[in-house]
Structure 1
Amino acid sequence: MSGTGSPLKREREEAGTTSSEEDYFTPASSASPSPSKKPKSPSSNDAESQDNTSSDATVAAAVATNRSEQLEAIFKNLRLRRIVKENHASEINQMAFCLNHRHNRTPFGLDHVKVFEKRGSVKRDPWDNSNILGTTGGPQANIYDNEHCGDHLDIMSHFLLDPVGEEGAEELPEMLTCCWIHQPQDTILATAGTGKTIHILSLARSKELVRLSGHNHSVTDIHAHPTKDEYLLSASKDGSVRMWNILTGKCLVIFEIKASVVCFNPTTEGRTFLTGGYNGEIRHWTVPDFNSEPEEPIVVPASESQMLFSNLHSARIDCIRFAKDKVLSKSVNGKVEYWDPETLVQIRTFSIKNTASNQCRFDVSLDQLFFCVGTSNGSVYIYNIESGKTVTELKHRRSTKAIRTCIFARDSRTVVCGGEDSFIWRYDYVTDETLNEWANWKPEP
């Protein structure tokens, strides 16, 4: 699929700054050493190449293992530090940090080190908006600052998404899904739900920019395109998945499938995507190529998709995510399957502990080594994807209702979740020294 190109790319090209991004984001410490100038004999090339490849693989495996162990130690030290009550007092159906993967190269996980200014706010590069948290539930989308106001989740703005002007709308809609989209000089939150309409909200302008209309039933999932900042994918109960241009408001493609969730494949730069169905089936789709956007939506029937699995899941699929070229898919009965999309080999099954049937969107850490998922009794589990083991359970006695969504922060030292009770629960990393102080604390006589 070809398009007009990223608005941000065009903006930088016009300003003549296309090469400065690398200079800005690449620290001096990450520069690669100069290659050796010593010539090698032809006979030794193959053997040395094999030795180097083997050595590199061994080192990479050791580094990955060490990082996993360090992150597991961090996850085991997560403790509940903040609770925020949403003002809409409804279920929180989805939340997302504005991580801006494509345009922001700020380190993540163990490599992410926060530097604080004198006033206590965090220094960050201008493209890093990962402190911004969006939540959706009831008839609202709320946006929080997770960083600049100390350790508080400070409300930045909220949008009441009323159905004024929508045909047949008699009551306030419930927002079921949301995602972030980058635009030059702005950050966009897209959200949708039972109102059939997709709302495009501008954080910089603090207003709704456009409504995408075309679905005639609830929109259950939306997903931003991994390389085209103006494209969005949506799944609806009306039996269609649609791809949109959020700048023009046009529907570009209609895929004839009743899917509960969608997920672009980042390894194909958005040329393909997966859908998960209400009956547990998983299909692979290819986005049509077009040099210019069509005047009328291109219709792609289900017969042009590829059925990957018809019985991998025995219940409705409520979340699909990619992790290191593999796929994690979850169904509402508490099963998460880890599988290879090329060979269709099932690598591992995760059975979520202590949970009944529950819809919850899980999240994969930015290093793609772990995922977190909520349960029906208010707890969150973190799993090591490669080893399959349970790392820890995040639980508090006050959290007893079903968790609908949970996410990792950029530095993997915070996990935020929410759900049925309309509370946002934030678990933060606490050092061993602080935990020991808490354990040994005694009230003064």
Structure 2
Amino acid sequence: MQSLIGHGGSINEIRTQPLKPSLFISASKDESVRLWNVHTGICILIFAGTGGHRHDVLSVDFHPSDMHQIASCGIDNTVKIWSMKEFRPYVQKSFTWTDLPSKFPTKVVQFPLMTCVVHSNYVNCTRWLGDFILSKSVENEIVLWEPKTKEQGHGEGSIDVLQKYPVPDCDIWCIKFSCDFHFNQLAIGNREGKIYVWDVQTCPPELITMLSSPQCKMTIRQTAVSFDGSTILACGEDGSIYRWDEVEHEAAKN
């Protein structure tokens, strides 16, 4: 067991690098995102500064196939896309470092690849969907959009909104969604205790099911979908955890 010390405020989210599970990123109230090596206890990179977030960072995610890119979002209403490709030698060095973690030459990344304004309010949750991004604010919807480079778009930070996933009674902040490993299903709760499960591979969006329970009437703040999408967990704001399992029904016999 070890404690990794570095942030100057509460930590709002942690995500593991799917291609290198030793690496993880943390999003904090201190307006920064940090990249860590869990095995050596090293803080490798700090994403903050001149071009960084100007308020709490609420959510962060690794690109599923490009291990050098991350996306972060927060109370400053922005989604920022960062690259750590330039700092690959420091990432590699973190695996063989034998001195004290405090002596590691941690680098500060001050400028993101782009800053995107998709929502007009706090951005609570962001996830990569291939090269696209899913994000949620305080509107009753999740937005799927594509970030555009200067060459592709009309300037830095331009986007193309691809489609939206409606979620009734979800117009408050601090509600986060989740997906299964293969990004087939997206699950999100609302303030009425219901769970909406969307198929994220269809266009237009297709609602797979709406889950509810007579005992679950409070706001669902977080969901978790199992690897294959067969189990969904939901966490209510009263500390309760609810579980739904997919059940195969036998065909009716003649």
- Per the TM alignment, residue 388 of structure 1 is displaced from its structure 2 partner at its CA by 1.0
Structure 1 match to 2:141: 335
Matches of 2:145 and 2:207, distance apart in 1: 18
Structure 2 match to 1:260: 58
Does the CA contact (< 8 Å) of 2:126 and 2:135 recur in 1?
A: yes
Code of the residue aligned with 2:132 in structure 1: it is: K
How many residues are treated as equivalent by the alignment?
223
Structure 1 match to 2:116: 309
Give me the CA root mean square deviation.
2.1
Taking every aligned residue pair, what percent have the same amino acid on both sides? 27
Structure 2 match to 1:249: 41
2:127 aligned to 321, 324, 327, which one?
321
* 1:405 maps to 2:229: no
Code of the residue aligned with 1:292 in structure 2: it is: K
* Alignment gaps of 5+ in structure 2: 95-102, 153-158
Structure 1 match to 2:25: 233
Relative contact order, higher structure (CA 8 A, sep 6+): 1
Matches of 2:236 and 2:228, distance apart in 1: 23
2:162 aligned to 347, 350, 366, which one?
347
Structure 1 match to 2:156: none
Matches of 1:281 and 1:356, distance apart in 2: 18
Q: Provide the TM-score with structure 2 as the length reference.
A: 0.80
Does the CA contact (< 8 Å) of 2:35 and 2:43 recur in 1?
A: yes
Query: Which structure: larger Rg?
Result: 1
Matches of 1:431 and 1:272, distance apart in 2: 39
- Which of the pair is proportionally richer in helix? 1
Does the CA contact (< 8 Å) of 1:281 and 1:307 recur in 2?
A: no
Deviations 1:261-294 (A, max 9, x none): 11111221x2111111212211111112215248
Structure 1 match to 2:68: 271
- Per the TM alignment, residue 218 of structure 1 is displaced from its structure 2 partner at its CA by 0.6
- Per the TM alignment, residue 358 of structure 1 is displaced from its structure 2 partner at its CA by 4.0
Structure 1 match to 2:88: 289
- Per the TM alignment, residue 330 of structure 1 is displaced from its structure 2 partner at its CA by 1.2
SS at 1:289 equivalent = helix
* 1:373 maps to 2:188: yes
Residues 212-227 of structure 1 aligned to structure 2 (within 5 Å): 212-227=4-19
SS at 1:292 equivalent = helix
Deviations 1:277-329 (A, max 9, x none): 2122111111122152482210111xx2133412x112222211122432211
Matches of 1:232 and 1:413, distance apart in 2: 26
Runs (4+) off by over 6 Å: none
Q: Provide the TM-score with structure 1 as the length reference.
A: 0.47
Code of the residue aligned with 2:13 in structure 1: it is: D
